[in-house]
Amino acid sequence: MQSERNIRRHFRFYGRVQGVGFRYRAYYAARNYGITGYVKNLYDGSVEMEVQAPEECIDKMILSIEKGSFIQIDNLEVSDLPVKENEREFRVVD
């Protein structure tokens, strides 16, 4: 049986990820899967996202984002981070 322990991951998405609804798709997927963290556009055209939830929920969120119309992820950087115990929401950062 898989653990429901929260993990935290940092993602950096490259490709056609700005101006295509990526952040809002991430927001709604996060709400759907009970994920906390944030997503924001970066000046170089990439998107940064930190998420915290059980690994299975994070995997489902990423799959949901990848299925978005017009979104094309060409490259993805992933790293693990320490869990933030008091984080309670997922937000879109402008």
Give which of 84, 83, 9 is closest to 48, Cα–Cα. Answer: 9
41 is catalytic: yes
pLDDT score of 68 more than 90: no
The predicted model scores a pTM of: 0.93
Q: How far is 14 from 72, CA to CA, in rounded Å?
A: 8
Q: Token pair 């949901």 is at which residue?
A: 64
Q: With contact defined as beta carbons under 8 Å apart, do 61 and 7 qualify?
A: no
Give which of 70, 57, 8, 55 is closest to 30, Cα–Cα. Answer: 57
Side-chain-side CA neighbours of 64 within 13 Å: the count stands at 18
Indicate the pLDDT class of residue 3, thresholds 50, 70 and 90: low
**Topology at the third CATH level for domain 6-93:** Alpha-Beta Plaits (3.30.70)
* Identified catalytic residue from 6, 8, 23, 25: 23
Note the pLDDT tens digit of each residue in 17-38. Answer: 999 999 999 999 999 999 999 9
* Identified catalytic residue from 9, 12, 16, 41: 41
